[in-house]
Structure 1
Amino acid sequence: MYSEGLVNATSTTTNMTWRIYMKSYLKAASASLALMFVVSSLAACGSANSSNDQTAANSPSAAGSTSSASAPAEAQVYPENGLPTDQKVTLKVGFFEGGMGREWFDVAVESFKAKFPNVSFDVTSSPTISQVTQTKIGANDDKGMFNLFSGSIPGGIAPYVESGKLESEEDLWNHKAYDGNGKTLKELSFNGSFESSPRTAGNTYAFPISGSGSGLMYNKALFEKNGWDENPKTWSDFLKLSAEIKAAGITPITFPGVYADYITNAFGVPKIYELAEANNTLDQVQTDYHQFNTPYFLAPENIERWNRIYEMGKKGYFPAGLAAMNHTQSQMQVVQGKAAMVSTGTWVENEMKQSTPEDFKWGYMTVPFGDQPDSTKWTTFTPGSGFLIWAAKPDLEKAWSKEFIAWLWNLDNQQQIAEKGGMIPLRSDFADDPARLAKLQSLPSAFLDYAKNNKVKMDSGAADVQLTDPAFEQANKVISEAITQIATGKQDPLPILKEAEEYLKKAIAAQKK
């Protein structure tokens, strides 16, 4: 993409547009030359005709005709992106209308059409848009298929990537933002957003337009009333905070034992990276975790992570009855002041908005695993909510589809996504304007404020490869089923991690066959 008023002549979009234009021009020029040949032949045959014919051949209109055939009219393109202004395009969009709503999307569409009036949108919106998409794919009608669609494809996108049905959007990372002062979307994104974005076969296919953060969400009023530390800088500070909360008769941290993996929202793989960075082993550990190199479950940093949870459990920092709680019940504990913090994601504000008082404010923190106040605080962050692009569409339509996706990164649109959709903006400069930050829901605002005031690195914790053997699922199951026992101090994690490691080795061996 391009900053306002600039043209990046080397961009993928501009080059593609020029090829489209030249292809059309050469066809027109060939037809004109053929016509000139016929006219010239007729003129030669009639050279003995009266002087009126010669006069006609030299008339201004004839000269103009010859001139237009020999030199193309200058292409009319938008200076911001190099795409033609005079070619009307309609983008068919399949829109998933879920928890984010669609108000933010409609605002973005209207501003895009105002800027580029030759582009229009045909939107199909539904909470079950994936079923509509699947039906269209089954019809095998590329013309009737969506240009862009959100939601998901049943069975995942991998088969469609392998068959070339989806367009790669990896190039968008290097496109300039419309309002980014010449910076690319990658340069404007949060530290770790590029690395954390989901990829298939090494490419981005649903370029992220917003994100969700994970960690500990807390009752801000409760913290302020008790004077508790809302930004502990070290692991020791965090343990001190937990002890103070427990001493006040309140559970420090809750999570749903029914869906025990929720604990990884606050104590997930990024905490392993945080420990590795402190141990100067980050590069190796990240490589191992991205590639499923062993030791994996028995990596020293992972053993330390689970041992810390185990020690907190023995001190009673998690609720005794968590095994029976679902996610709504655990979150209600925070709303009701029975627990101080809950391990979940920033989506909780939208999810619980019908159950929280009007003046309730959520706070955000990550669990600091380091020993130094200025050490990096790693947090789970998942970029997402993007649109897939159908590959079997005209090049010009695909170019405009990518332009619209980049348009969603404008600060005004990022604010709409955060304010109306309850998501986290992906622009690292979003929090630079206090007035803009103040308009957000309390949790996106708290997350951005935390990121601004701490040395934060974001990561999704996802691997680069997939293990499909059932033994890998069994390894994860062994861990998941032991979480509540570990978190209540009843189960030493080491035997569980050893068992999971053996299943992982079987899965890796099966994958190599």
Structure 2
Amino acid sequence: MTSSSHVNRRTLLKRSALAGALTIPGVAALSSCASGGGGGDGDTTGPGEVTDSNPFGVADDGDIEVVIFDGGFGDEYARDTARIFEENYGSVKLDSTQEISQLMQPRLVGGTPPDMINNSGANQMPHPALIRDNQIADLTELFDAPSWDDPSVPVRDTLVPGTIEAGQYGSEAVYHLNYAFTVHGTWYSRKFLNEVMEEEYPQTWDEMIRVCEKAKRDHDVYGWTYAGQHARYLSFTLLPMAVKIGGKQVLEAIDRLDEGAWKQDGVVAAFEAFEEIAARGLLLPGTPGIDHIDSQTEWAQGKALFLPCGSWVENESKEVIPDDFDLAVGAPTGLDSSDALPFGTIYAVAGEEFIVPQNAANRAGGMEFLRLMLSRDMARNFTEKLSSLTCVQGAADGVDLPPGLTTAQEAIDAAGENIIAPRFRGWYPELFIDHMGVAMGQMMAGDLTAAQATDRIQQEADKIAANDSVEKFL
């Protein structure tokens, strides 16, 4: 782990005695009348007085430990939250790491976990296994608690629809908070496409191939690149394309692990379309072997026109995206006018999961840290600093959004009801990462045909469906 922070509230008060109250640039001061703290195996409520402003009874000297995934969002937003937490309660020991599973799993098993974990990234711990082993707490109390900004409004009523459902696994219990509302799609430079190439974003696959061939022929720019070492990134565009072609029942069948779900006409057509990119030489050479940072860097440098990714790309690649890039996200290109759903169908979902371990020493403090993160000021701070929307309704209102995030918000508005959110990704992570993603990458590298890739994924889905030791959620 890196970057530990451990500053006690009383120390902060001493430091601010002459300098004034602690403030965060761009974030209004928050306050709460709090007393109490605690946690453990029993009730989430701590030993302190329970009030509307301190619904979990956190002690004013109740220290907590927080671990943040050090990825595209970094940890500055969490440190800002920690400062406000420390003004009201005890100290926050905050660490950040990319090795979530390697470092956190042993602590969960050993009964000495932190009080809150940002369980995200390539080394994310699988939530179904954590739920099965009773290692993470049900967050229903958090969503039923009074919101930080208005005690008369419960937290659940301040959230974007679908946020709570994203943390459910076949029951009413909610096991993780998905904080960042992410738009997945095809990212590109609007300046290059519209002004240099004098083209519009392609809405049919024939148009996509034509535009990519023109970029290569006239500008020595390849059509596509992607995170080759994490080929599941392709699904951010490929899956909604399959749903656009075949209808919403396509994804419903995949989520249910239905027999033949990955052999549906819409799925096969989408795989064949992406296979064509590689077959026509429109994929940036070397793509299958590079990681997400390398692919984003080469794309930002103008070596490829399109990149499948999530809206975190604007912050994660801000050091390499040129100022005049005019970043934009396009909804997945469809096949043709016969598609079941209209252009604009997009993959958007609350993501970036946060959990509170069941055996946390100060589980009440972990819950309260999340409640604070769900305040409008903390959510607004996240959006302003990281170019990402959150699950808090209205938190981005009036914020001067950067180009990419502006188009992401426009894409959500344009999609209306045609927003997809794959559930199998969280329910059966081994299918999403180890089988689907790998098969997609092998197809793009020319090692599998589209038919072989979908066959392989279907075989693995069938194995999971037949395995009684794997809990099913639909």
TM-score by length of 1: 0.66
Tell whether the 8 Å contact from 2:222 to 2:283 is kept in structure 1 after alignment: yes
Question: How big is the shift at 1:294?
Answer: 0.9
1:302 is displaced (CA, Å) by 0.8
Measure the CA separation in 2 of the matches of 1:184 and 1:231.
Answer: 42
Question: Which residue does 2:424 correspond to in 1?
Answer: 462
1:147 aligns with 2:115: yes
Counterpart of 1:387? Answer: 354
Counterpart amino acid of residue 305 in structure 2 = A
Name the amino acid aligned to 1:104.
Y
Asked if structure 2 preserves the Cα contact closer than 8 Å seen for 1:134 and 1:154, the reply is no
Distance of 2:45 and 2:66 partners within structure 1: 28
Q: Which has the higher helix share?
A: 1
Partner of residue 83, structure 2: 110
Q: How many residues align?
A: 422
The structure 2 residue matched to 1:295, chosen from 260, 263, 271, is: 260
The answer as to 2:300 corresponding to 1:335 is: yes
Q: Superposition pairs for residues 103-502 of structure 1, below 5 Å?
A: 103-114=76-87, 117=88, 119-127=89-97, 130=100, 133=104, 136-137=107-108, 140=111, 145-151=113-119, 156=126, 158-175=128-145, 177-179=147-149, 186=156, 188-197=158-167, 199=169, 203-226=173-196, 228=198, 242=212, 245=215, 248-249=218-219, 250-257=221-228, 259-267=230-238, 269-277=239-247, 282=248, 284-313=249-278, 317-319=282-284, 322-323=287-288, 326-358=291-323, 360-369=325-334, 371=337, 375=342, 377-381=344-348, 383-392=350-359, 398-433=363-398, 436-438=399-401, 440=402, 442-455=403-416, 457-460=419-422, 462-463=424-425, 465-466=427-428, 477-485=438-446, 493-498=450-455, 500-502=457-459
Q: Considering only aligned residues, what root-mean-square deviation do their CA atoms show, in Å? A: 4.5
Structure 1 residue 92 and structure 2 residue 64: aligned? yes
In the TM superposition, what whole-angstrom CA distance separates every residue of 1:219-271 from its partner, at most 9, and x where no partner exists?
A: 2332342375666666676566556645643333222545544322321x333
The answer on 1:101 being equivalent to 2:101 is no
Question: Structure 1 counterpart of 2:242, which letter?
Answer: I
Contact 1:210 1:414 in 2 (8 A): no
The amino acid across from 1:110 in the alignment is R
The TM-score normalised by the length of structure 2 is 0.70
Q: Please give the secondary structure, in 2, of the residue aligned with 1:383.
A: strand
Give the match's secondary structure for 1:297: helix
SS of corresponding position for 1:120? coil
Task: Give 1:148's aligned amino acid.
Answer: M
Counting aligned pairs with the same residue, the percent is: 14
Residue range with higher mean Cα deviation, 132-141 or 206-215: 132-141
Offset of 1:444 from its aligned partner?
Answer: 3.4
Distance 2:454 2:217 in 1: 32
1:173 positional shift: 4.3
> Separation in 1 of the partners of 2:166 and 2:160?
10
Name the CA distance, whole Å, in 1 between partners of 2:404 and 2:150: 25
| Structure 1 SS opposite 2:186 | strand
Instruction: Name stretches of at least 5 consecutive residues in structure 1 with no aligned partner.
Output: 6-15, 25-75
Deviation at 1:126, TM superposition (A): 3.7
Corresponding residue number in structure 1 for 2:9: none
State the structure with more CA Rg.
1
AA partner of residue 146 (structure 1)? P
Asked if structure 2 preserves the Cα contact closer than 8 Å seen for 1:193 and 1:381, the reply is no
Q: Which runs of 5+ in 2 are unaligned?
A: 1-29, 32-41
Residue 358 of structure 2 aligns with an amino acid whose one-letter code is A
Aligned-partner Cα distance in 1 for 2:151–2:379: 16
Report the secondary structure of 1:318's partner residue: coil
* 8 Å Cα contact 1:193-1:458 kept in structure 2: no
